[in-house]
Structure 1
Amino acid sequence: MRYRRLLALPLVAVLAALLPVPAAPAAAAPPGTKDVIVTLFEWNWPSVAAECTNFLGPNGYGYVQVSPPQEHASGQQWWVAYQPVSYRIESRKGSRAEFQSMVTTCHNAGVKVLVDTVINHMTGVGSGTGWAGSTFTPYTYPGIYQTQDFHHCGRNGNDDIANYGDRYEVQNCELVNLADLATESDYVRTKIASYMNDLLALGVDGFRLDASKHMPAADIAAIKGKLSRSAYIVQEVIYGAGEPVQPTEYTGNGDVHEFRYGKDLGRVFRNEKLAYLVNFGEPWGHISSAKAVVFVDNHDTQREGGYVLTYKDNGIYALANAFMLAWPYGSPSVMSGYSFTNNDTGPPSNGAGKTNNATCFSGGWVCEHRWLVVANMVGFHNAVKGTSVINWYDNGNNHIAFGRGDKGYLTINDEDGAVNGRSYRTGMAAGRYCDVIHGSKSSATTCTGPVITVDANGWFTANIVAHDAVAIHSGAKIA
C-alpha cells in the first residue's frame, strides 16, 4: 500500500514539512485581498492575539477562525465547547474582555476574526452547570430557553436522528442527544441573532455556523436577516450521497464547507495518482468554487480516520496543503490544533480546566500553520490569486507540475524515487527565486533555502527527491 511509505519519508521531506518558519517581526499584513483561513482550534484568546501579531499577519493569513466563545458545558473533552449553556462570552478559552482584546489585536495585525458559532442546539439533554456557573435542566436554560423552544421530534425512542435519508429527522430530531433548537421560531431566531449581534459589536468579521445541515437554509437566512451588519458566513454542511439535505441548498446564505475536498485529496495522495488532480474541484462534483471553503482536514475529520490526511501523516500532509494553497478552487482553510491519541481529548489545560497558552511545538501544540511548507505556501497563494492554471504536466502517475499565470509554479514529486535534471516551463519572468518549500526569502538578495533560476524563456531545471516538491512565486523573487 502507498500508505506504508509515509513511514519512510526522505529526511528532506520531513524537515521541509516540520521545521517552523521563524516568527516574523510584528508588521501590518501585506495589502490586497487575503482569503486563507487558519483554524486555531481551542486556542485561548491571549494566544490567538499574540499569534495574529507575531505570525498570522506578517505571513499573510487573512482570517483566524476561533473556537466557540460562549459559556459551555463543564468537562475536559474538546466537544463540550460545542454544547452551549448560555450566550455569555465566558469559556475555558478566556473572558469577554480577553476576547474583545483579541479581536482588536488581530485587526491591528491585518487579520479578520471568524467565530465558530453554535446555534443549532444547546447541551446534551440533561442537567448541569456551565463553565461560568449557569445551571440548566432538560430543555430549560434560565433566561434564554424553555421546553417550547426546542424540537421534540418523537422519533427513535430518544428523539435522536437515526435516518439521514429523512429530511425531517435531520432537521427536527436531536444530533447525538443535543437539545435541538426550534429555529423556525421567531423567538429562537431573535435570541440567536442577539448572540451573534453581541459578537459583531465586539468586532468579529464573520461566523462559521456549526451543524448548519441540521437547520433549514431558510431558518439560517431569517437569522442572518436579523444581524446588525453584514458579516462573512460559512456553513458546515456535510455532503452525504443520496441524502435529501445537500450543500447547494445553503449557498444563498454564504459560503459552504466542501467536505468532499479533503476526503478526495487524501484518497488521491494515499492510494491513487496525483495525475488525477488535473481538474480537481467542480468537475469532481464539488460545489461552485466561488462558494466553497476547503481544507485538507478540520477538527472533526482529523478524528474520523479514513482517507483524510492529518498532522500525523507528516510530510505527505504538508504536500497536500501545498497543493491546496496552490490550486485555484475555493477559499483554503488551514487546520492548526494540538496532538491527541484519544479522539475525545480536549486542549492542553491546567488543573482548573482552563486552556493553556499555546506555545508552538511544545506542550502538545502542533501548530500546523507554522510548518515551513504550509506557512510559505500561504504567501504563494496570495501572490498567485486571480491567475489561472497553465502548463500542467504529469507523468501519468505521481509527479505533477503546474503554473499559476506568470506569478507562481509548483511541482510535486510523490514518486518513490527522485526526479533529476528535469526542466519545467513556468511562464514566469526570468530571474532568481526562493524555493519556498525549503526556505524563505530572507533579504532582497538571499534565501534561507535553495534558489531556483528561471531563464529568459521561462524554464528552470531542478532535482526533486522522492515525496518532495519545489515552489516559486513572484513574491519570493530575489535580486
Structure 2
Amino acid sequence: MRSRTSPRSRPRPLAAPAALVACLAALLTVPQPAQAAPPGTKDVIANLFTWNWPSVAAECTNVLGPAGYGGVQVSPPQDSLKRSGTHSWWELYQPAAYDVNGRLGTRAQFASMVQACHTAGIKVYADAVVNHMTGQGSVSYGGRSFTKYTYPGTYSGADFHYYPAACGNSDNLIHGGDYTGNAANVQRCELVGLADLDTGAEYVRSRIAAYLNDLTSLGVDGFRVDAVKHMSPTDLSSIYGRLTGSPYIFQEVIYGAGEAVQPSQYTGLADVLDFQYGRYLKEKFSGSISDLQTFGATWGGMQPSAKAVTFVTNHDTERDGSTLTYKDGATYTLANIFQLAWTHGAPQIYDGFTFTDNDASPPSDGNGYVTAANCSSGWTCLHRDAAVTAMVGFRNAVRGTSVTNWSAPDTDVIAFGRGSAGWVAINNGGGPHTGTFPTGLPAGTYTDLIGGGAVTVAAGGTATVTVPAKSAVAIRVGGPPPAASVATSFGVDATTYWGQNVFVVGDVAALGAWSPAAAVPLSSAAYPVWRGTVNLPAGTAIQYKYIKKNPDGSVTWESDPNRSFTTPASGAATRNDTWR
C-alpha cells in the first residue's frame, strides 16, 4: 500500500474501576518486541507478487533454491475483498478476515508451499496487511459477507479509528497536508478510505498478533508489514512483542522529505524497506551511473545498510513511475545486477505480472482466483534471468567483503571489486566499452558469469575487458571454470557503398546478444568478402545475422530467417555466407 502510521484511540467502553485496573496492568506488562532474526547468509529475497501458492512452491523447488536465493516474499495470504465484475490486484490488500483461504489458494496449499520452500532452503516471508480492513462491503473470496467496519468473527465497529475521537478530519480520511504536519492524522485517519484499525486497543493488538502467530504456526519465517507509516511505533512494539519465535520483520515505511513520520522512527523495531534506493537507481541509470561510488546511507533519505531491505522496484513504485520497471528492459536488468553486486542492505528481486492498466488483475480465472504463473505469458520473471541468478550466486560468494577498486572510465561505465573475492563491470551505454581495469583478484583465467566468456586477470590484478553495450561482466574466485571456446571465422560476400561497414551479430554475448551496438566488426580487406574471427563457446547452438551500419548511424539487417549452426566441441569453425 502507499504510506501510513497510528495512535491511541477509542478503547472499548469499560466501567471506570475496570478501566483503571486495565490501564495499570498494561503499564506493568507491555510486551517487548520480538528480536527479529536477520535474513541469513543468503540474503536475496525473491518478491513473487500475486503468485499463487502452488506456483510459489514450484518456483522454490525448481528455481529459487538451486539459484541460491535465501527467501521468498509472498503476497497477503488472508481472505480479502472480492468485488463483483473486475478484480484488481489491490483486492489482496483489503482484508475481510484473517483466514488463510483466499484469492491465491487454500490454507492447505499455503502450508504445502511453505514446506516445499523450506525443503528447497528458502525462507518464506508473508506480506502482512494489519493496518486496515476494506474500503467497502461485499463478499470475500472465502465466502464471508461483511460491511465496512463490521467483519463477523474478526472485528466490529468499536475496533476502528473515527472522527473526532481519533481522526482530526471530518471526512475520516488522511489529507495530503497531514503528511508534513500531522502525524496523528496519518496514523489515525483512513488511507484512501480503508477502515483504519485502532491498533492502540488491546483487542485489536491481540487479534493481529494471533493472525501473525497463526502464519508462524504454518512455518512462515517472517513478515513484510504493510502500511507501517500508518501505525505508531508504540502500537507495533506491543504487537511484535506478542509474536512467537523470532520472525524476521521488514516494514513498509515510505520515505518523504520533511514528512512527520519517518522510517528512522521504526528502525528500532525491525528493518525497513528502503524506498529511496530504487528512486536513486532510476535517476542514475536514466542518466549517469559514474557517481554511485558513495551510494548508501549518506544519500538523503536512505536507511542504514544493516536495517535496509532494498529493491529496484515493487508493486507500488512500478505503477507510480518512481522507479525502473520491467518496461525499461536491459536498463532495469542492469540496475538489478548492480543491486546484487553492491553492499547496501538485503536485496529483493521483484516479479509480478505485465500490465497497461495500473488497477489490472493478475492473470486469473473468471472468479478472480489467480491462475498459475507462466513466465512466457503475462508474468515477469527477472528472478529467473541467467544474469540475475548468476549474480545471486556472486553475492553469496562475496558476502562479507567491501567494495574495492572502484573505476568509472565513462559516465555510463562503472567497475568495482568485492574484496579479493569478485569483480563486476557494468556498461549502461549504447556501445561496447573496452578498458583495462584493476580487479583485486588473484591472477588467473575466470569465467564471465554474465556472458560466459573467459576473462584473464594478469599478475598485477588487472584485466582488459570488453563490456558489451547495456550489459555487464562479472567474475569471482571459485566460479565455474572457463568453458572451451572455438575460433569461428565469419565471412560474408556483401557489396557496400563508401562509409558503410558490415558486422556480425547473434544470440550469444560474444556476438553482441543481438545488440547492433555490440556487433562484431568485419574487415573489408578481401572485399567484397567481409571477414572476422570470434571466439564462441564450444558445442553450442548459435544464431546470427549480418548487418550493415550506414554513415548516418542507421542499421540495415539482412533478411530473415536467422542463420544458425552448432560450434564443434574443439578446433575451429568457418562460416562462408552471402548477404541476403
Aligned with 2:273 (options 257, 262, 268): 257
Deviates more, 1:324-333 or 1:423-432: 423-432
Structure having the larger proportion of residues in strand:
2
Partner of residue 244, structure 2: 228
Asked whether the 8 Å contact 1:89–1:95 carries over to 2, the reply is yes
Aligned with 2:469 (options 445, 455, 466): 466
The reply on whether 1:311 has 2:301 as its aligned counterpart is no
How far does residue 396 in structure 1 lie from its aligned partner after superposition?
A: 5.4
- Separation of aligned partners in 2, 1:235 and 1:303: 20
SS at match of 2:309: strand
Note the alpha carbon deviations across 1:266-312, whole angstroms, 9 max, x for none: 011103x2111010011103111000001000011001114x11001
- Separation of aligned partners in 2, 1:254 and 1:235: 7
Partner of residue 248, structure 1: 264
Note the alpha carbon deviations across 1:20-41, whole angstroms, 9 max, x for none: xxxxxxxxxxxx7101111011
Deviates more, 1:192-201 or 1:141-150: 141-150
SS at match of 2:134: strand
Partner of residue 131, structure 1: 141
Asked whether the 8 Å contact 1:336–1:366 carries over to 2, the reply is yes
Asked whether the 8 Å contact 1:337–1:368 carries over to 2, the reply is no
How far does residue 352 in structure 1 lie from its aligned partner after superposition?
A: 2.4
How far does residue 455 in structure 1 lie from its aligned partner after superposition?
A: 2.4
Relative to the length of structure 2, the TM-score reads 0.73
1:161 alignment partner AA? I
Deviates more, 1:344-353 or 1:72-81: 344-353
2:341 alignment partner AA? A
SS at match of 1:478: coil
SS at match of 1:283: coil
Matches within 5 A, 1:284-303: 284-285=299-300, 286-303=302-319
- Separation of aligned partners in 2, 1:160 and 1:475: 56
Aligned with 2:162 (options 152, 159, 183): 152
Partner of residue 553, structure 2: none
Partner of residue 414, structure 1: 428
Which fold has the larger relative contact order, with Cα–Cα distance below 8 Å and residues 6 or more apart in sequence? 1
Partner of residue 399, structure 1: 413
Note the alpha carbon deviations across 1:25-68, whole angstroms, 9 max, x for none: xxxxxxx7101111011001011001101010000110100000
Asked whether the 8 Å contact 1:266–1:309 carries over to 2, the reply is yes
How far does residue 475 in structure 1 lie from its aligned partner after superposition?
A: 4.0
Note the alpha carbon deviations across 1:307-338, whole angstroms, 9 max, x for none: x1100101000100011100100000110111
Asked whether the 8 Å contact 2:48–2:352 carries over to 1, the reply is yes
Matches within 5 A, 1:348-427: 348-360=363-375, 362-395=376-409, 397-420=411-434, 422-427=435-440
Count of matched residue pairs: 433
Note the alpha carbon deviations across 1:115-157, whole angstroms, 9 max, x for none: 0000000001x32111111111131111111111100034444
Partner of residue 280, structure 1: 295
Aligned with 1:237 (options 239, 249, 253): 253
SS at match of 1:179: coil
Matches within 5 A, 1:438-477: 438=451, 449-477=452-480
Asked whether the 8 Å contact 1:153–1:169 carries over to 2, the reply is no
Asked whether the 8 Å contact 1:348–1:363 carries over to 2, the reply is no
The reply on whether 1:346 has 2:361 as its aligned counterpart is yes
- Separation of aligned partners in 2, 1:416 and 1:348: 35
- Separation of aligned partners in 1, 2:82 and 2:429: 48
Asked whether the 8 Å contact 1:379–1:475 carries over to 2, the reply is no
SS at match of 2:282: helix
Note the alpha carbon deviations across 1:238-282, whole angstroms, 9 max, x for none: 0011011000110111100110010011011103x2111010011
Larger Rg: 2
Give 5+ residue unaligned stretches, structure 2: 1-39, 483-580
Relative to the length of structure 1, the TM-score reads 0.88
Partner of residue 48, structure 2: 40
Percent of aligned positions that are identical: 53
- Separation of aligned partners in 2, 1:145 and 1:368: 39
- Separation of aligned partners in 2, 1:172 and 1:475: 54
- Separation of aligned partners in 2, 1:212 and 1:343: 23
Partner of residue 576, structure 2: none
- Separation of aligned partners in 2, 1:141 and 1:103: 28
